[in-house]
Each structure stands twice: as C-alpha cells, then as structure tokens.
C-alpha cells in the first residue's frame, strides 16, 4: 500500500508451459507456468530496453500431506540477486 492506496497488478498464465510475452514501456516480459512432478514452476524473463535481463523462478509445492505450502524463489537481475523461501502451514490460517 502506498499513501493509503493499493498498488496491484496481475496477469493470467496457463499451466501448460506455453510462454506469454508482454511488452510495456520498452520492457519485454516472457513468462510461463509448468509442472515438474507435483511442483508448479513459474519462470519469468524480463528484458530491459538496454538489453539487460532479469530472471525470476518460483517453485510452488505442498508438503506434509498438503498441510504446508512452500514457495521457493530465485531472482537474478543485473543489479539485484536474491533467494526467498516462504512457508505457510495450514495451522497458520484462521479457520
């Protein structure tokens, strides 16, 4: 939230691995979703107007018999590189 206003964006992908390409302001983003066994994999490549690229890969999985949701992200850009792991247990969600 910025200055009391919500900042949102979104787009739709299918899980069949087909790449979706979007162009905006000189940037090109190519994204796809695919299955690797029981893990849903999101892959995105952003090409900046100057030709530099950034990639983002997120692997979504259910563990502990579906009780735990895990998202493992690896972002690699021309300036910033990071890894994130998010874990949500079903017990963490109010019933």
pLDDT at 5: 80
Domain spans, the chain: 20-92
Whose CA is closest to 79, among 59, 61, 41, 52? 52
pLDDT of 1 > 60? The answer is no
Phi-psi region at 79: left, alpha or beta (left = phi > 0; alpha = psi -120 to 50): alpha
pLDDT at 2: 63
Structure confidence by residue, pLDDT tens digits, 12-36: 899 999 999 999 999 999 999 999 9
The token duo for 29 is: 């983003």
What is the residue whose two structure tokens read 């999101």? 42
Confidence of residue 51 (pLDDT cuts 50, 70, 90): very high
């Amino acid at each position: 939230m910025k200055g009391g206003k919500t900042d949102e964006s979104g787009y739709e992908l299918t899980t069949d691995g087909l790449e979706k390409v979007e162009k905006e302001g000189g940037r090109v983003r190519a994204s796809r979703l695919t299955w690797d066994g029981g893990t849903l994999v999101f892959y995105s490549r952003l090409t900046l107007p100057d030709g530099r690229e950034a990639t983002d890969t997120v692997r979504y999985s259910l563990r502990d018999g579906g009780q735990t949701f895990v998202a493992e992200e690896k972002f690699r850009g021309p300036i910033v590189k990071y890894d994130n792991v998010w874990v949500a247990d079903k017990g963490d969600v109010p019933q």
